[in-house]
Amino acid sequence: MLDEELLKILADPKTKEPLRRATEQEISAVNAAIARGTKNVGGQPVKDPLTDGLVPSKSGARVYPVRDGIPVLLSDEAIPL
């Protein structure tokens, strides 16, 4: 699980917007897209479903995966919503 104090200082690497934890509905939508073969922003197929993710608080346009409690804040790893 991602530390709440860390979450307060994280920002979207592309837009610099603050990030928020993805809702259950957003995680479900992303996992459904992953099951259908979606690709990340970098064009690579996403194979593993998410259990946690971070979303830009204003645009909500993509989800950055959180793997083993570590946010992956690389623009190419983001998954479009």
pLDDT of residue 59: 85
Q: How sure is the predictor about 1, in pLDDT bands with cuts at 50, 70 and 90?
A: low
CB atoms within 10 A of CB 40: 21
> How many angstroms separate the Cα of 39 from the Cα of each of 8, 18, 44, 49, 62?
28, 24, 5, 12, 12
pTM, whole model, 2 decimals? Answer: 0.91
For the segment 14-29, what is each residue's pLDDT rounded down to a tens digit? Answer: 899 999 999 999 999 9
